[in-house]
Amino acid sequence: MSSESMPSRGAPIKSVNLHIGEIVPGVAKVAPIIVADNVTRTFGGLTAVDVKHVEIPRNAITALIGPNGAGKTTFFNLLTGFDKPNTGSWTFSGKALAGIPSFKVARLGQVRTFQLTKALNLLTVLDNMKLGARGQKGENMFVALLPWLWRKQEAQIEAKAMELLAKFKLDTKSGDYAASLSGGQRKLLEMARALMSDPTLVMLDEPMAGVNPALTQSLLDHILDLKTLGMTVLFVEHDMQMVRHIADWVIVMAEGKIVAEGPPDAVMQNPAVIDAYLGSHHDQDLGEDPDAEENIHAMKELLNADDES
Ligand SMILES: Nc1ncnc2c1ncn2[C@@H]1O[C@H](COP(=O)(O)OP(=O)(O)OP(=O)(O)O)[C@@H](O)[C@H]1O
Ligand SMILES: [Mg+2]
């Protein structure tokens, strides 16, 4: 992202003093929304997630960063009930969540979007939105027999969907099939849909990936707005400039583990983070390994981001 695409409405107000005591991986937070302990997930011989302890601060924007394959998406899948851990437990707003399926997690107010968008192509944009509403009265057998109750609710849901679509500049497309949207519009739709359920925690897996630069600014503003509205955001992102710009707190994963965390500026100067991006390629001829090149690129981005402040 170029510096020209940075916000027109000035630098965002950062939330500070989120942690308690010395900043080490797993540091306690003043008001954690998620507290996870000993969460592991293995695939065959590979340990994709191995998180001893982590706390996500409430009503703040936290970025989860780390090289490709670090386990970020897998950790998201576990926290949202889309996958089951081998070991571990965690709480969301104090409620134990391990083993709770994804639809119930969403009803409790913890929603997520996907690295590869999951908009339903053969439904219209509006119908995709309606699927995001929770606790629909029509789903209840008894209420389903009383059409005047659910018709009223249906109208309310539709009004709310249209309001959100307008906010995300998708209202003119409400009758179009989701398949006809661009990659960036699908990302916006997914985010708008997530908001249909009035969540308290919004988890975004690479919200900027594949988004046209013309849309990145509005996406950034939407994410900042969520915090203003009292929500908590946890997002995975490779774009370090965006991380630095909007995150209040950064958590770094590498090889399944939390290797560093802290406010963006401090984290990006942390040697453990630069190490994580170099990964296990230290002693290899980096020029011949495409993975390593990607990691080096990410690290350079980190360092560049540093220079620009
Ligand atoms: N369903 C699966 N079966 C086997 N291995 C998997 C599966 N899902 C993830 N993995 C492996 O687990 C590791 C972590 O993957 P994950 O997708 O969580 O990484 P990530 O940090 O999200 O990476 P990226 O930044 O590329 O999205 C990788 O080595 C990946 O190949
Ligand atoms: Mg991922």
Residue 158 sits in the same domain as residue 41:
no
Residue 81 sits in the same domain as residue 170:
no
Instruction: Tell whether ligand 1 has an atom less than 6 A from the beta carbon of residue 71.
Output: yes
Probe ligand 1: pick from 46, 50, 74, max atoms within 8 Å of CB? 74
CA-CA distance, 248 to 62, in Å (whole number)? 6
Decide which of 4 and 31 is more confident.
Answer: 31
- The answer to whether position 271 is within a domain reads yes
**Atom of ligand 1 at shortest range from CA of 67:** 25
pLDDT at 290 over 60: no
Residue 93 sits in the same domain as residue 209:
yes
Domain end, chosen from 130, 150, 180, is at 180
Residue 203 sits in the same domain as residue 279:
yes
CA of 237 to the centre of ligand 2 (A): 9
* Protein residue closest via CA to atom 6 of ligand 1: 43
Residue 218 sits in the same domain as residue 286:
yes
Probe ligand 1: pick from 39, 40, 41, 43, max atoms within 8 Å of CB? 43
- The answer to whether position 9 is within a domain reads no
CA of 74 to the centre of ligand 1 (A): 6
CA-CA distance, 51 to 64, in Å (whole number)? 13
Closest CA to 91 of 59, 63, 54, 61: 54
Residue 227 sits in the same domain as residue 172:
no
- The answer to whether position 193 is within a domain reads no
Decide which of 126 and 274 is more confident.
Answer: 126
Q: Which of the four pLDDT bands, split at 50, 70 and 90, describes residue 85?
A: very high
Instruction: Tell whether ligand 1 has an atom less than 6 A from the beta carbon of residue 116.
Output: no
Residue 304 sits in the same domain as residue 258:
yes
- The answer to whether position 6 is within a domain reads no
Per-residue pLDDT tens for 219-245? Answer: 899 999 999 999 999 999 988 889 999
Instruction: Tell whether ligand 1 has an atom less than 6 A from the beta carbon of residue 43.
Output: yes
- The answer to whether position 158 is within a domain reads yes
Per-residue pLDDT tens for 41-55? Answer: 999 999 999 999 999
Per the structure, the complete domain to which residue 44 belongs is given by 15-118+198-308
Residue 83 sits in the same domain as residue 223:
yes
Please report, as a single letter, which amino acid is at residue 106: A
- The answer to whether position 66 is within a domain reads yes
Residue 161 sits in the same domain as residue 246:
no
Closest CA to 9 of 173, 245, 208: 245
Across the range 80-93, mean pLDDT stands at 95
What token pair was written down for 230? Answer: 């009292």
Q: Domain count of the chain? A: 2
CA of 235 to the centre of ligand 2 (A): 11
Question: Mean pLDDT over all residues of the chain?
Answer: 85
Residue 142 sits in the same domain as residue 161:
yes
Residue 53 sits in the same domain as residue 108:
yes
- The answer to whether position 147 is within a domain reads yes
CA of 49 to the centre of ligand 1 (A): 9
Residue 166 sits in the same domain as residue 59:
no
Domain CATH for 69: 3.40.50.300
- The answer to whether position 192 is within a domain reads no
Q: E-assigned strands of the chain?
A: 32-43, 46-57, 61-65, 87-92, 95-96, 110-112, 201-205, 232-236, 249-254, 257-262
